[in-house]
Structure 1
Amino acid sequence: MLTGLLHLGRLVGIARSLARHDALWPLEQVSRRFAPLRACVWLLRVMFRRKRPGRPGERLAAAFADLGPSYVKLGQALSVRADLVGEDVARDLELLQDGLDPFPTDQAIATIEETLAMPLMQAFAQFDRDPVAAASIAQVHFAVTPDGRDVAVKVLRPGIVDKLDRDVGLFRFLAKMAERIYPPIRRLKPVAVVNTFEEWIRVELDLRLEGAAAAELKENCEGDEGFHVVDVDWERTGQRVLTTERIRGINIDDVDALRAAGHDVDDILARSSRIFFLQVFRDGYFHADMHPGNMFIDENGRLCPVDFGIMGRVTRRQRIFMADTLVGFLSRDYRRVADAHFEIGYVPPTQSRDLFTQALRAIGEPVLDKSLNEISVGRLLEQLFRTTERFDMPTQPDLLLLQKTMLVAEGVGRTLNPTLNMWLLARPLIEEWMIVNRGPEARITDTLRDTMETLERLPRTLQKAEETLDRLAKNGMNPDGSLREPQGASTNIKLWGPVVIIALLAAIAVNLAG
């Protein structure tokens, strides 16, 4: 009860901020179904609303920026969910920057000394007091270690952990309320949006996890030519401090500076396409915040990413699905795309495969009919994910993050060379990967892997089956369809055990035969 009242008080403050930025429209849309909420929105509009210029998404982004770090991060998370907020609003939220005024350097030094358990001048021979970047979660200072290495020191904002914990609790409360009050919204998984958001910030709030993400990416890409991930200085890293190698380079979107430094921008684009392909399809682990401010080109022409707070993962099944989808769309084989959706289970088997194929054609033709350099795979997938409601498809947050990363990568690619398409550059790599991972040998390996997983689950499955059959035999069903609690002695399961085992073995045999 008390928690609910606290959330209500915070909601009033949020609503006032939305009103001041003329961004009440999300509440207005929700309030159409609930008279009491309509009255509250009307009162807010009368008391606090200020007319502001700009599109609805721009005004909402300004309100989020005013509300502080949690809401800046929420806006960035919502920019991945065009299916939830609309394409235009998602684009405006993409531009939401998390740059804030820096916090006092003395506080940063206190955090460093407390986290590293040593005086500042013992940890660093030189420490620049002026931060080079200040974001919603942390700020960065350049420094030099006692052994002469140039490093970047990232320090969490004081009090940010408690504030974000409190705000995430509010976001989850609102998401659950939305699902309870308006069941159709469950298909869009608002609680999953909050969970994804929480995963992002948990990494950003424990800088050891961000350091581990950088180390994993570095290990995956160690042999990839022309790509360099910073080294982590673990001796000077803790929960609230991350120290990494300092990168000196040019932002990847500064084409004039790149050319003036003698770099081949077409080669940079080709390597960017290859590296992104390798991260997604080979490793299933990719840098998911690849805006130009997080990617530099060093003096040797290497791509050097920074800021590993948001990383994405895709399973092997999802990678196969994405490869089938990309190659299918680029070759206008819409049936192949439809089959991929049904095979992975994203479209329920009750839906018409023919109608879904027709819908895919309606999505693909307008995009693919453009010249090659204008084709946007990111926008293509965005349109695809927006068809989910019509075919009762649950939202896939992991793939939405990948799709949004694709859009950012495409934007950088067009800046480097508007006449080239990075996906067409990567298509031969994708097709080669498909041959290796979708050929007969790969299918046998997949079948064996699935079979072994089934066998590993067999004892637990049998135990659950015995418990269920025991309860059924002794007590039957309650009027509401649930099982009654077992009473008395254990039921003899000997007749049922062989039946369950035979059924499981038959399923395994069918799996092997397929």
Structure 2
Amino acid sequence: MRLLSLFKLIGFIRLVIAQDSLLPPDFKEKAPFWLKALRKLFTFGTKKFDQDSRGVELSKKLQSLGPTYIKLGQSLATRPDIVGLKLAKDLQYLQDSLPAFPMKIVEKLLADELDQPVSALFDDFGPPVAAASIAQVHKAKLKDGTPVAVKILRPGIDQKLTTELSTFMFVAHAVEALIPAARRLRPVEGVRTLWDSVKLEIDLRMEAAALSEMRENTLKDDKFDVPEVIWEATARRVVTMHWSDGTKASDLEALQAAGHDMQDLSTRLIQAFLTHALRDGFFHGDMHQGNLLICPDGTFVAIDLGIIGRLDTNSRRFLAEILYGFITRDYRRVAQTHFDAGYVPNSKSMEAFAQALRAIGEPIRGQDADSISMGRVLTQLFEVTEQFDMQTQPQLLLLQKTMVVVEGVARSFDPKLNIWDAADPVVSGWIKSELGPEAILKDAVDGVQRAAKSIGRLPDTLARVERNQEQLEKILSDKGFKIHSEDEKKNTLKPWIVISGLTLGGYLTYRIFQ
């Protein structure tokens, strides 16, 4: 089984290299003759697709190879630093579309997972309304009449994915061991990220938890919704949620016919995504048209949270500083952010890096709004990674990929969207609230509150110290050591009180004036 998987992977690599991908941009000009000949020999008999149809043809080929390769293609679409900008864009055509599995298997799987037959939980359990690489979705009704969507994992998919991903990991380790130049791209880390993502996708309880978390995060958000999970009808291979009626974001004619303000939809979508990434550090990692519904009142409904992204505080600050720096043309600020985050080695010149960033940012000035792309700017950052020895950051790659997809959806609503104007209120607001004077004052107040709690606990702490001292003295006395008199004990305790007071005072001073 592993050998067959390895042959399939080699076939995929041959196919991709035949499209002039997985190779350095200057391969044709700088590679030695013997290496070019080896490349031709390795790809002999493999079809090279036309540039205009390459994305569609590759997508079809990946679908024929199976769900693991669909996921690999989706992952490579987030890695322009490995496959090149053109192929990364082409792979975004990839669609998850496979034949549905029979209802008999559906009924058995549901009974096994939920410990009761379909008829005990659902009424009007319908045929599949969507069939993807990992799972398929059915529309049904609960016994109380509530319409729901039931997502069911494909039989045997977890074993198949595990086998093939272990092969990917074997090859990634071999590449890092045999090709030192590839280590900067961290192929092992890339496969591990893909594997972690897939493991989450094949446990639908994790998707249910992601739905629940995003629903809580966005409950107070204007016109953004996430379906509520039905936990009693959810298990490892099944997730059930409230059914959402809405128009798919891809059906532009229906949206326009329904009277939606397309410019408003466009702006709100960008702002919603950035709000989730910056405010919550938790965002939908696959926010394409098929995973977005739009209700009659303009509310966005996000579905299919099999892929999610998380950003820690430092990554959120990094993202906000980059976007704010490009919005305000402060390229040195963007460069400083990269150096502070440790993404660029200190051995490199910050001024040279700022200059490279200016070369990316300035050409967009003065262009028409529909020519200015945030996704393109973030993608172009990958083009300077090798020059400045920047290591790949997997969590930011998913963010970049998702941002490109979201921007594409937003521009489908409004081709004239000015992406920077749409982003400015969210980015500027986050910078002000998290990094500005208000944030510093809030930190100081929090420090005082924590210090006050420490003061309140001081008597108890000193009492515990005294009890411990008494217990220690009893133990020592039992072993024949000299014990202090009561006056000596009081004098012994005084230095502890002085030290505690000085420490607490210093802490208060530090927290207030740091």
TM-score between the two structures when normalised by the length of structure 2: 0.80
Q: Does 1:304 align with 2:301?
A: yes
Letter in 2 for 1:305: A
Report the equivalent of 1:472.
none
Is the Cα contact below 8 Å between 1:289 and 1:405 reproduced in 2? yes
- Picking from 321, 324, 334, the partner of 2:321 is 324
- Picking from 83, 98, 101, the partner of 2:99 is 101
In structure 2, what is the Cα distance between the partners aligned to 1:218 and 1:38? 55
Is the Cα contact below 8 Å between 2:23 and 2:83 reproduced in 1? no
Is the Cα contact below 8 Å between 1:413 and 1:421 reproduced in 2? no
Is the Cα contact below 8 Å between 2:321 and 2:334 reproduced in 1? yes
Is the Cα contact below 8 Å between 1:80 and 1:90 reproduced in 2? yes
In structure 2, what is the Cα distance between the partners aligned to 1:435 and 1:20? 49
Letter in 2 for 1:104: P
Deviation at 1:435, TM superposition (A): 1.3
- Picking from 60, 72, 75, the partner of 2:73 is 75
Give the 3 Å change call, closer, same or farther, for CA 176–58 of structure 1 in structure 2: farther
Report the equivalent of 1:430.
427
Report the equivalent of 1:487.
none
- Picking from 157, 160, 163, the partner of 2:157 is 160
In structure 1, what is the Cα distance between the partners aligned to 2:101 and 2:2? 27
Aligned pairs for 1:122-201 (under 5 A) are 122-129=120-127, 131-201=128-198
Give the 3 Å change call, closer, same or farther, for CA 27–238 of structure 1 in structure 2: same
Deviation at 1:309, TM superposition (A): 0.5
Is the Cα contact below 8 Å between 1:57 and 1:88 reproduced in 2? no
Deviation at 1:263, TM superposition (A): 2.1
Report the equivalent of 1:480.
none
In structure 2, what is the Cα distance between the partners aligned to 1:28 and 1:161? 32
Is the Cα contact below 8 Å between 1:179 and 1:186 reproduced in 2? yes
Is the Cα contact below 8 Å between 1:338 and 1:357 reproduced in 2? yes
Is the Cα contact below 8 Å between 2:267 and 2:417 reproduced in 1? no
Q: Is there any run of 5+ residues in structure 2 with no aligned partner, and where?
A: 451-505
In structure 2, what is the Cα distance between the partners aligned to 1:108 and 1:207? 15
Listed one character per residue, the Cα deviations across residues 369-423 of structure 1 (whole Å, up to 9, x for unaligned) are 4223321011101101221111111111111111111111111111111222243
SS in structure 2 of the partner of residue 392 of structure 1: coil
SS in structure 2 of the partner of residue 296 of structure 1: strand
Q: Does 1:389 align with 2:405?
A: no
Deviation at 1:324, TM superposition (A): 1.2
Give the 3 Å change call, closer, same or farther, for CA 180–194 of structure 1 in structure 2: same
Listed one character per residue, the Cα deviations across residues 227-268 of structure 1 (whole Å, up to 9, x for unaligned) are 111010111110001111111111123232112213222222
Is the Cα contact below 8 Å between 1:21 and 1:49 reproduced in 2? no
Deviation at 1:429, TM superposition (A): 2.5
Aligned pairs for 1:89-488 (under 5 A) are 89-129=87-127, 131-440=128-437, 442-443=439-440
Is the Cα contact below 8 Å between 1:28 and 1:38 reproduced in 2? no
CA RMSD of aligned residues (A): 3.1
Letter in 1 for 2:67: P
Letter in 2 for 1:241: V
In structure 1, what is the Cα distance between the partners aligned to 2:19 and 2:372? 35
Is the Cα contact below 8 Å between 2:63 and 2:97 reproduced in 1? no
Deviation at 1:446, TM superposition (A): 6.8
Letter in 1 for 2:212: A
Is the Cα contact below 8 Å between 2:18 and 2:48 reproduced in 1? no
Listed one character per residue, the Cα deviations across residues 291-350 of structure 1 (whole Å, up to 9, x for unaligned) are 001001112321101000011111111111111111111221111111111121111111
Letter in 2 for 1:393: M
Letter in 2 for 1:42: L
Listed one character per residue, the Cα deviations across residues 162-182 of structure 1 (whole Å, up to 9, x for unaligned) are 000111101111111110001
Report the equivalent of 2:7.
12
In structure 2, what is the Cα distance between the partners aligned to 1:174 and 1:34? 25
In structure 2, what is the Cα distance between the partners aligned to 1:189 and 1:39? 24
Is the Cα contact below 8 Å between 2:22 and 2:82 reproduced in 1? no
Is the Cα contact below 8 Å between 1:22 and 1:59 reproduced in 2? no
In structure 2, what is the Cα distance between the partners aligned to 1:226 and 1:407? 22
Report the equivalent of 2:41.
42
Is the Cα contact below 8 Å between 2:75 and 2:194 reproduced in 1? yes
Give the 3 Å change call, closer, same or farther, for CA 445–41 of structure 1 in structure 2: farther
Listed one character per residue, the Cα deviations across residues 64-94 of structure 1 (whole Å, up to 9, x for unaligned) are 2221000000100110000010000101111
TM-score between the two structures when normalised by the length of structure 1: 0.80
Deviation at 1:28, TM superposition (A): 8.4
SS in structure 1 of the partner of residue 386 of structure 2: coil
Report the equivalent of 2:468.
none
In structure 2, what is the Cα distance between the partners aligned to 1:116 and 1:436? 45
Letter in 2 for 1:377: M
SS in structure 2 of the partner of residue 132 of structure 1: strand
Q: Which has the larger radius of gyration?
A: 2
Report the equivalent of 2:63.
65
Give the 3 Å change call, closer, same or farther, for CA 144–327 of structure 1 in structure 2: same
Is the Cα contact below 8 Å between 2:278 and 2:316 reproduced in 1? yes
In structure 2, what is the Cα distance between the partners aligned to 1:10 and 1:306? 32
In structure 1, what is the Cα distance between the partners aligned to 2:6 and 2:410? 41
Is the Cα contact below 8 Å between 1:151 and 1:243 reproduced in 2? yes
SS in structure 2 of the partner of residue 390 of structure 1: coil
In structure 2, what is the Cα distance between the partners aligned to 1:21 and 1:351? 33
In structure 2, what is the Cα distance between the partners aligned to 1:513 and 1:389? 41
SS in structure 2 of the partner of residue 312 of structure 1: strand
Letter in 1 for 2:238: V
Q: Which moved more, 1:306-315 or 1:360-369?
A: 360-369
Deviation at 1:426, TM superposition (A): 2.6
Give the 3 Å change call, closer, same or farther, for CA 513–343 of structure 1 in structure 2: farther
Letter in 1 for 2:234: T
Give the 3 Å change call, closer, same or farther, for CA 51–254 of structure 1 in structure 2: closer
Report the equivalent of 2:473.
none
Deviation at 1:356, TM superposition (A): 0.6
In structure 2, what is the Cα distance between the partners aligned to 1:365 and 1:439? 26
Q: Is there any run of 5+ residues in structure 1 with no aligned partner, and where?
A: 1-5, 453-505
SS in structure 1 of the partner of residue 387 of structure 2: coil
Q: Which moved more, 1:259-268 or 1:201-210?
A: 259-268
In structure 2, what is the Cα distance between the partners aligned to 1:27 and 1:348? 25
In structure 1, what is the Cα distance between the partners aligned to 2:201 and 2:418? 32
Number of residues of Structure 1 aligned to a counterpart in Structure 2: 450
Is the Cα contact below 8 Å between 2:318 and 2:337 reproduced in 1? yes
